[in-house]
Structure 1
Amino acid sequence: MRNMITVAVVAASLVLGHTPIDAQRAVPANRTAGFANRAPGTELRAPRSFRTNAEATYPGDPADSLYRAARSAMNRSEYGRAAELFRQVTDRFPKSAYAGDALYWQGFALYRRGSNNGDLENAVKALELQGERYPKASTRSDAQALLVRIRGELARRGDEGSGRRIAQDAGRATARCPADDDDDDMRIAALNALQQMDSDQALPILREVLDRRDACSVALRRKAVFLVAQTNTEAGGELLVKVIGSDPDAEVRRQAVFWLSEVPGERAVTVLDSILRNTRDTDIQEKAVFALSQHESSRARVLLRGIAESGNITEELRSRAIFAIGHHSGTREDGVFLRSLYPRLTSERLRETLIQSVAQIESADVRAWLLSLVSNDEQPLEVRKKALFWAGQNVTAVSDLINLYEELSDQEMREQLIWVLSDRKETKATDKLIDIARNDKNRESRKKAIFWLGQQNDPRVKKLLLEIINQ
């Protein structure tokens, strides 16, 4: 019963106000052992899913002035005063056009004050009264949403009856199958709510969900896979491994592979290695490579390097592994490996990916290597241009780029360097472009320099352009 109420309580909170879970978002750094708890004091934040601004729209109504006074008190955050005035609207003017909505705003004001259970219980009474007397009120759907939220808060404070009511409401929501993004479905919301529980409590529930095979459970299983990974436990990892081997839905299996990156220990790495060796599903293979790139295990780094240099793996997978080595790890040893791999690559695409990857690693060796590629006439032109681009992304000192201009004999490479210099913020880079625009012997180089200088807001550039115009 305790677990059921816990799930129901937080399900109410999530289904009515919190941002739906994005399965690709980054996991908070403090989530190292079980789910992160909600920060104290956030339970009574005004949800975005029901109205928070009481508008006065019936100026000729006998309750208009009283309603406006209540509205003003609400806007000043005087919630107790506002609740009392909204109550008077309904009591004194039960046939007013404002009467039904006033009950909603009375409940909302009490909810916002929420200093004790009495406020919340009175809010429930006001909202229930609206349903009985004014079922067609314009705020009725907002009131229903707020009612579930308040009951959830009461249950969180120990009111078992409120928790049981929410659980019963959730159990009745079985008429249709939820979609993957249907966070308004109570079953999806209940799964979301498991994040508020300790992993020891959550995993048995998630295991039951993942064991289901009925048609309506597919979206639930996909959501459950993500939540299992967020427990960050070895038990969660074993559950994901089971899903990978047995779930009939391909997307559930793919998501389980993807989220193995969040599971600590070598078992996850071993499973990912096995997947890459044995599966022919390219999407699963790509997710396995990504999971390896995110895993903290040193063995995962070794496996990525093996994929990068293997001639028996598709170019796409090799490209992803090469990309990941520099972007997600980026150690000095990774830089040494990538530079040693470069001459063994025959694919221009893989070479360009490697250049981008190695450029993410900050070291003098990387800068020197990139410039050596730029200066090497035996390398393909596009590869040299790619190396120059990445060398210019604040990896290489601007003085080295300026010196390089005189060394380059190929016109396309010079024009590439002019573009690279235009993207640098240093004064020296602008000085060099001005010099090229004024003095370079090649007309195309001068035109390129003038074009890129025209994109800058520099007084010296304006002066140069005037000089050229007035020639």
Structure 2
Amino acid sequence: MLSKVRILAAIIILAATTAFAQQPQFLHAQLTTASADHGLNAELDSLRREAAPLWVGYNIPVAQKTFSDRYPRIDYLEADHPTYKEEDATSSSETSYDHAVLLFRIANHTIEKIRVENPNRQIDAGNLRVFWLSNIAPGDSIATLKALALSNDEKKLRDNAVFAISIHRSPETLPTLIGLAAPANPLDLREKAAFWVANQHSHEGFAALQNFARKDTDAAFREKIAFDLNVSNDPDAVKELIRMAHQDASPQVRRQAQFWMATKGGKVVAGDLRDLAENDPDTQVRKSAVFALSRLPQPEATTQLIQVAGTSKDPAVRKQAVFWLGQSHDPRALDYLTRLLQQ
């Protein structure tokens, strides 16, 4: 019995390995296949010396990456290709895969494009040469993409490199993203990396975001961290947004934290938002707290706005509460405003 189990396990592993190793179907391509025995960087360095444009591709393991199957099954790498419209959709389904196709376009002796493609699509290379590599270790791929993100000034290429890192199924993915979000790097790179840290949906990722929220000295970056905490599914994310809304030194960061805590926390954060509307030392922050109250789910939003409009000692806050009650469709808001006008 044990031998049968081992045979079955071996068959499953072999099937998964075969699926991962399988190259996509290329169209209009001068295809060369090779094993990257000396590492990905060595292969790329060699191909950068080529005079004509070319594509380099390989498979990467991913954590159930979902691709749309809505449109015809051809992806075009070069510019001259049809643009699909809604009526071209062949289905509305999406399919998850355990691997994806990663492609680099090399021209003028440099990598100028990075693409992630559906492994089940045909890929039209526009009559360019394509070098398909096997035996690429995930860590090798991540290290190459990290180097591209750090060394390139072109934002789209840098963003695509960070995204490609984020979908690798590897223990090196999250530490690399956290490292790219570190203070030594450019702000836009940090923001992109932190966003994908949040999307890893792990407690370790949340802990990194929390550390940035509490210790990073760049207020513009902390503003983005407030959004990333909204994306995080860690149970402590709302608590950290509440802390930021009360304690961050920057009024703008406190305002952002209010907005996202209302979106994420709902009724749970109503008391904190009302407290901020009453007691924050910055007038704009108090007014933005009222706006955040207006974004709570109904009927809680109207309940809180009526209370603030009726009890706040700050005329600007009361005025803001009345304004957002005027935008409400809750009958209680109309009743309150009618009574207010009759006074």
Please state which band the TM-score falls in when normalised by the shorter chain. 0.5 to 0.7
Structure-2 separation of matches of 1:303 and 1:382: 29
Structure-1 separation of matches of 2:52 and 2:145: 28
Secondary structure class of the residue paired with 1:362: coil
Structure-2 separation of matches of 1:414 and 1:33: 59
What does residue 435 of structure 1 align with?
Answer: 307
What does residue 419 of structure 1 align with?
Answer: 291
What does residue 390 of structure 1 align with?
Answer: 260
What does residue 233 of structure 2 align with?
Answer: 362
Amino acid at match of 2:208: F
Task: State whether structure 2 residue 31 is matched by structure 1 residue 208.
Answer: yes
Task: State whether structure 2 residue 341 is matched by structure 1 residue 454.
Answer: no
* Fraction of identical pairs, as percent: 22
Could you tell me whether the CA contact under 8 Å between 2:294 and 2:301 is conserved in 1?
A: yes
Could you tell me whether the CA contact under 8 Å between 1:418 and 1:448 is conserved in 2?
A: yes
What does residue 379 of structure 1 align with?
Answer: 249
CA displacement at 1:34 relative to structure 2: 6.8
- Structure 1 vs Structure 2 CA RMSD: 4.1
What does residue 130 of structure 2 align with?
Answer: none
CA displacement at 1:357 relative to structure 2: 0.9
Structure-1 separation of matches of 2:340 and 2:255: 30
Secondary structure class of the residue paired with 2:264: coil
Equivalent residue runs for 1:344-363 within 5 Å: 344-363=215-234
> For residues 363 and 426 of structure 1, do their structure 2 counterparts lie closer, same or farther at Cα, with a shift above 3 Å needed?
farther
CA displacement at 1:335 relative to structure 2: 1.1
> For residues 200 and 348 of structure 1, do their structure 2 counterparts lie closer, same or farther at Cα, with a shift above 3 Å needed?
closer
Could you tell me whether the CA contact under 8 Å between 2:245 and 2:257 is conserved in 1?
A: yes
What does residue 275 of structure 1 align with?
Answer: 148
> For residues 199 and 387 of structure 1, do their structure 2 counterparts lie closer, same or farther at Cα, with a shift above 3 Å needed?
same
What does residue 159 of structure 2 align with?
Answer: 286
Task: State whether structure 2 residue 199 is matched by structure 1 residue 342.
Answer: no
Structure-2 separation of matches of 1:205 and 1:414: 61
Q: Give the number of the structure whose residues are more often helix, by fraction.
A: 1
Could you tell me whether the CA contact under 8 Å between 1:332 and 1:363 is conserved in 2?
A: yes
Could you tell me whether the CA contact under 8 Å between 2:201 and 2:234 is conserved in 1?
A: no
Could you tell me whether the CA contact under 8 Å between 2:279 and 2:286 is conserved in 1?
A: no
Structure-1 separation of matches of 2:251 and 2:224: 15
CA displacement at 1:293 relative to structure 2: 2.2
Could you tell me whether the CA contact under 8 Å between 1:415 and 1:448 is conserved in 2?
A: yes
Q: Give the number of the structure whose residues are more often strand, by fraction.
A: 2
Structure-1 separation of matches of 2:215 and 2:118: 29
CA displacement at 1:454 relative to structure 2: 0.8
CA displacement at 1:452 relative to structure 2: 0.3
Number of aligned residues: 261
CA displacement at 1:449 relative to structure 2: 1.0
What does residue 265 of structure 1 align with?
Answer: 138
Superposed CA deviations along residues 107-141 of structure 1, whole A, max 9, x for unmatched, are xxxxxxxxxxxxxxxxxxxxxxxxxxxxxxxxxxx
What does residue 193 of structure 2 align with?
Answer: 321
Could you tell me whether the CA contact under 8 Å between 2:209 and 2:229 is conserved in 1?
A: yes
The higher-RCO structure (CA 8 Å, 6+ apart) is: 2
> For residues 430 and 284 of structure 1, do their structure 2 counterparts lie closer, same or farther at Cα, with a shift above 3 Å needed?
same
Structure-2 separation of matches of 1:284 and 1:231: 24
Could you tell me whether the CA contact under 8 Å between 2:241 and 2:258 is conserved in 1?
A: yes
Structure-1 separation of matches of 2:79 and 2:19: 17
CA displacement at 1:351 relative to structure 2: 1.3
CA displacement at 1:446 relative to structure 2: 1.8
- Unaligned 5+ segments in structure 1 are 1-31, 36-197, 225-229
> For residues 448 and 406 of structure 1, do their structure 2 counterparts lie closer, same or farther at Cα, with a shift above 3 Å needed?
closer
Structure-2 separation of matches of 1:201 and 1:296: 19
CA displacement at 1:306 relative to structure 2: 0.7
What does residue 90 of structure 1 align with?
Answer: none
Could you tell me whether the CA contact under 8 Å between 1:437 and 1:445 is conserved in 2?
A: yes
What TM-score does the superposition give when structure 2 sets the normalisation length? Answer: 0.62
What does residue 115 of structure 1 align with?
Answer: none
CA displacement at 1:391 relative to structure 2: 1.1
Could you tell me whether the CA contact under 8 Å between 1:374 and 1:387 is conserved in 2?
A: yes
> For residues 214 and 375 of structure 1, do their structure 2 counterparts lie closer, same or farther at Cα, with a shift above 3 Å needed?
closer
Superposed CA deviations along residues 150-187 of structure 1, whole A, max 9, x for unmatched, are xxxxxxxxxxxxxxxxxxxxxxxxxxxxxxxxxxxxxx
What TM-score does the superposition give when structure 1 sets the normalisation length? Answer: 0.47
CA displacement at 1:455 relative to structure 2: 0.7
Could you tell me whether the CA contact under 8 Å between 1:430 and 1:453 is conserved in 2?
A: yes
Could you tell me whether the CA contact under 8 Å between 1:374 and 1:384 is conserved in 2?
A: yes
- Unaligned 5+ segments in structure 2 are 1-16, 34-46, 56-74, 81-95, 120-135
Amino acid at match of 1:429: A
Superposed CA deviations along residues 336-385 of structure 1, whole A, max 9, x for unmatched, are 11111234422221111112112222344322222222222x61111111
What does residue 110 of structure 1 align with?
Answer: none
CA displacement at 1:267 relative to structure 2: 3.7
CA displacement at 1:231 relative to structure 2: 10
Equivalent residue runs for 1:115-264 within 5 Å: 202-203=25-26, 206-208=29-31, 221-222=77-78, 240=103, 243-244=104-105, 246-248=106-108, 253-255=111-113, 257-259=114-116
Superposed CA deviations along residues 279-304 of structure 1, whole A, max 9, x for unmatched, are 45454223211211233323121111
Could you tell me whether the CA contact under 8 Å between 1:355 and 1:390 is conserved in 2?
A: yes
What does residue 65 of structure 2 align with?
Answer: none
Structure-2 separation of matches of 1:461 and 1:267: 60
Task: State whether structure 2 residue 154 is matched by structure 1 residue 331.
Answer: no
